[in-house]
Amino acid sequence: MTTRITDIQVILTAPEGINLLVVKVVTNQPGLHGLGCATFAYRHLAVQCLIEQYLRPLLIGRDAEAIEELWQLMHQNAYWRNGPIENNAISGIDMALWDLKGKMAGMPLYQLFGGKVREGVPIYRHADGRDLSELCDNIQKYREQGITHIRCQSGGYGGSGYGAAPAHAPTGAAQGIYLDPRQYMRDTVKLFDGLRSRVGFEVALCHDVHERLKPIDAIRFACALEPFDLFFLEDAIALEDGDWLRQLREKTNIPLAQGELFNHPFEWRTLITDRLIDFIRVHLSQIGGITPGRKLQVFAEQFGVRTAWHGPGDMSPLAHAANIHIDLASRNFGVQEWSGTEPPNFVIQTLKGPREALLDVFPGLPEFRRGYVYANDRPGLGVDLDEAEAAKYPCDSGVTTWTQTRLIDGSLQTP
């Protein structure tokens, strides 16, 4: 009997204080369902609407095993294609269909991708600090856990905390997170000089610009960081300024990681074929799920570009598991960003504590041990959802403030 989709449900939850959106695809086979991540934490209601009002009616009654066919159907159905709301909605269903496929086969997903080429996935964590001493202390804590790759920042991405404009801003300037690019560059170069003096060169250090510099400043900044042997410099150039990556590549020998905000193959195709980047950094749900993610991984492999999938706190454990399954089967894997074992600094504390609450809602989270993350061997993604626990942690639909980044003259800067 053909396995057909009988229902598609959306579950919203925020066990760590971060909005997460899970899709449950139900089938005509008793007890057989799949789970996927459609998290767009800052527009979750728009994604929910798209799934419930448009994709659910489109897919009910269709063959749940026809993953490629259904992905293309969802992608084309609105005529106008692409974008983060549509892609995240498609991702939730796509991941759930892959989860279903693994459960039907009785295999974890990495087996469907050709099997493991490594037993565990090396990860990197984020270390921050108010000053060099605090940052070094935090790096040491990660090193004691066996972690050898660490992304280093001081004060987040170089801006102030959200609030009133600083005294040197124009009168009447709006509230925001204020950034002085020149000071940020000076402070960061000094920071990495101090880090290498204190922690040496054995640990692989990364840094995330978060697209907050103008292209010419990003080039100068990358050149100034060359003596400190970075594992990679992330998102030095904004998505909208992608043509500058060719000049950045010509001017610096620092490995470049790019793509957190990418939506569509046109945004990464030339960067990969012309070898303008070293690591592709896309957010799996942002590009539409596992189906396009696997295609991107195989495409990048042909040009020597390694994967370093985005793995922040604002994605569900289902998406983290999807990253890990792809990593396990990828020859061109580089490193995996990981926020799945400890809460990020901006997490809102719950009564239980954010990590305990997350594990209650999502049993089966991939396990971290001594610098590596291991997928469990349950069929599919291997992560389940306790809907009763999920309902205890409602989402917040308030105004997002951390993206309201401003330059010292009060004008908006991409966050």
Other Cβ atoms within 10 Å of 386 Cβ, number: 14
Give phi and psi for 403, each to the nearest 5: -85, 0
The amino acid occupying position 217 is D
Question: Please, what is the end-to-end C-alpha distance for the chain in angstroms?
Answer: 50
Active site residue 33: no
Q: Has 207 been annotated as catalytic?
A: no
For residue 38, which of 96, 85, 92, 98 has the smallest C-alpha distance? 92
Hunting for tokens 């592709």 — which residue is that?
280
Please give the angle made by the CA atoms of 90, 390 and 353, to the nearest 5 degrees: 120
- Which entry of 126, 149, 207, 210 is annotated as an active-site residue? 210
Residue-wise DSSP of 267-297: HHHHHHHTT--SEE---GGGGTSHHHHHHHH
Choice among 124, 157, 184, 393 that is catalytic: 157
Query: Would you say 365 and 358 are in contact if contact means Cβ atoms under 8 Å apart?
Result: yes
Q: Which of 281, 326, 279 is nearest to 305 (CA)?
A: 279
How many Å apart are CA 88 and CA 18, to the nearest integer? 16
Contact 232, 255 (CB under 8 A): yes
**Distance from C-alpha of 286 to C-alpha of 195, rounded to nearest angstrom:** 33
Give the integer Cα–Cα distance in Å for 225 and 35.
42
Token pair belonging to 48:
């929910």
**What's the sign of the alpha-carbon dihedral 195, 197, 198, 200?**
positive
Residue ranges in 113-178 assigned as alpha helix (H): 132-144
Q: Please give the positions annotated as active site.
A: 157, 210
